[in-house]
Chain A
């Protein structure tokens, strides 16, 4: 479903070339649930943005649902759902309900399919209480649930989330996690998320990737990850060790 082959993206910053991502290769099969870890500035968001066609890779090959995201961006948009935890993709001044209706029209979602999809999302995400409010008046937790619903209205095969639980309280976090787990297991939607919250990884992800300095530093199951540091008992300790050794080898 997602395929990266030696993908790279560099930026020119004051005549110096900075490689945000380099030689990144991985494959995610349909139906997988993958969590992506990495320190700030490691290249996670750049990777996500290459997957949805926002950034054009400067080297290598990227394929999502068989399409080259940067060349077939609008075609891919119909098959992928994207959520940015740090900013909404909804229309600030429109009631949430109107944003959904607009998305239905932009994505050409059939009215009947849309109706049942929206009912289902309203129920599972508990949108009913605030669907009539403009997005700007929503709390962060409500907004996040609205963004999730918006990304799923067109029933995409792949859902890509960049820090979906950032800034949320424990209850909201649990709600989002529960929703994502069910989406993946019941509907078979492929999910790729980036996060700094190790709870997301522990509770959701069968597979973990660790990106550091724009490269893949680890790729495997949670158990594999724990096994990289025998003697350390919590995932925090293991990840801290991986982040700090990554920094040392980079020097």
Chain B
């Protein structure tokens, strides 16, 4: 599966380079956008020292951890939400006649290495925060765990968003609210949000396990909302709990696929 993914991604990357001017422009633009992102964060924190009880560096840590997972998914999985375009154009049929999962074919569709800049930017922010914070080294094992958890949660969200489009072929934008919206939401400490919203993204849609709950453990802090401390470790459970319905929804979607005329 992984080798098929790499093969397809490499093929698309080469195809992207076939339009050289466009590729160069995308690469430059991607770098500029990533740089602006960092600039925005720096501007915000040049003027504030803390946000909802969290220090400058702690916020950067939460931001970086969520963004690494999000940008990774955006680059490697995000294209599955283009499925409605493929359904409408009839090109999804061609994916179904190949001996490879259509999910992988969609995820690699139009894969472009130009988005790697954003992952690098997010990783740089995270690395800076980890270096600046005086963290308990015995708790650092949680950092890779929370990033993998975040990747699985975001990938599941994208898969759910794609599955919904088998029915809502005409409204692909609706699902962006969930994918990109989730990415935005997890960029800030959850203490800036209202209690009910936090409850929703903890127990219904488990976004709290991307960076908030495990992040509190890494930072050695109590939850301002008072959740018990064992919840800091439930990330992998929550990720699997979301991945399973996403996988089932995707399978259901394929079986209900209607194709187009002709």
**A residues neighboring B (CB under 8 Å):** 11, 41, 45-46, 49, 52-56, 70, 73-75, 77-78, 80, 82, 84, 86-89, 91-94, 98, 102, 105-107, 134, 162-163
One of B98-106, B180-188, B217-225 at the interface: B98-106
Q: Which of A82, A84, A87, A93 contacts B15 (CB 8 A)?
A: A93
B258: Cβ under 8 A from any A Cβ: yes
Query: Contact: B262 with A74, CB < 8 Å?
Result: no
Total contacts A to B, CB within 8 angstroms? 73
Query: Contact: A45 with B262, CB < 8 Å?
Result: yes
Least CB distance, B141 to chain A, in whole angstroms: 38
Query: Contact: B15 with A54, CB < 8 Å?
Result: no
B7: Cβ under 8 A from any A Cβ: yes
Nearest A residue to B255 by beta-carbon distance? A56
- Known contacts A49-B259, A91-B15; 4 additional CB pairs below 8 A are A84-B93, A87-B90, A93-B19, A163-B262
Query: Contact: A78 with B94, CB < 8 Å?
Result: no
Query: Contact: A87 with B91, CB < 8 Å?
Result: yes
Query: Contact: B255 with A70, CB < 8 Å?
Result: yes
B11: Cβ under 8 A from any A Cβ: yes
**With A11-B258, A55-B258: A91-B11 Cβ-Cβ less than 8 Å:** yes
Sampled A-B contacts (11; CB under 8 Å): A55-B259, A70-B255, A77-B99, A80-B97, A91-B11, A93-B19, A98-B11, A106-B99, A106-B100, A134-B18, A162-B262
A107 partner residues in chain B, CB cutoff 8 A: 99
Least CB distance, B44 to chain A, in whole angstroms: 40
Q: Which of A41, A73, A75 contacts B96 (CB 8 A)?
A: A73
Least CB distance, A94 to chain B, in whole angstroms: 6
A92 partner residues in chain B, CB cutoff 8 A: 15
The 4 A-B residue pairs with the shortest CB-CB distance in the complex, in nearest-first order: A77-B99, A93-B15, A89-B94, A82-B97
Query: Contact: B257 with A78, CB < 8 Å?
Result: no
B55: Cβ under 8 A from any A Cβ: no
CA distance A74 to B95 in the complex (A): 10
Interface centre among B8, B11, B18, B255 (most CB of A within 10 A): B11
CA distance A16 to B62 in the complex (A): 51
Nearest B residue to A81 by beta-carbon distance? B97
**B residues neighboring A (CB under 8 Å):** 4, 7-8, 11, 14-16, 18-19, 90-91, 93-94, 96-101, 255-259, 261-262
Q: Which of B4, B14, B93, B262 contacts A54 (CB 8 A)?
A: B93
Nearest A residue to B90 by beta-carbon distance? A87
B257 partner residues in chain A, CB cutoff 8 A: 54-56
Least CB distance, B256 to chain A, in whole angstroms: 8
CA distance A55 to B8 in the complex (A): 24
CA distance A78 to B8 in the complex (A): 18
**With A70-B255, A93-B19, A106-B4: A54-B11 Cβ-Cβ less than 8 Å:** no
CA distance A55 to B90 in the complex (A): 13
B4 partner residues in chain A, CB cutoff 8 A: 106
A41 partner residues in chain B, CB cutoff 8 A: 261
Query: Contact: A94 with B11, CB < 8 Å?
Result: yes
Nearest B residue to A50 by beta-carbon distance? B259
CA distance A55 to B16 in the complex (A): 31
Query: Contact: A54 with B98, CB < 8 Å?
Result: no
CA distance A70 to B251 in the complex (A): 11
A45 partner residues in chain B, CB cutoff 8 A: 261-262
Query: Contact: A49 with B93, CB < 8 Å?
Result: yes
CA distance A185 to B18 in the complex (A): 40
B16 partner residues in chain A, CB cutoff 8 A: 93
CA distance A53 to B96 in the complex (A): 7
CA distance A107 to B91 in the complex (A): 19
CA distance A121 to B152 in the complex (A): 44
Nearest A residue to B15 by beta-carbon distance? A93
A91 partner residues in chain B, CB cutoff 8 A: 11, 15
Query: Contact: A77 with B98, CB < 8 Å?
Result: yes
CA distance A120 to B32 in the complex (A): 50
Query: Contact: A102 with B97, CB < 8 Å?
Result: no
B19 partner residues in chain A, CB cutoff 8 A: 93
Query: Contact: B99 with A52, CB < 8 Å?
Result: no
Query: Contact: A74 with B99, CB < 8 Å?
Result: yes
CA distance A92 to B15 in the complex (A): 9
CA distance A101 to B19 in the complex (A): 21
Least CB distance, A34 to chain B, in whole angstroms: 19
Nearest A residue to B91 by beta-carbon distance? A87
Nearest B residue to A44 by beta-carbon distance? B262
Least CB distance, B255 to chain A, in whole angstroms: 5
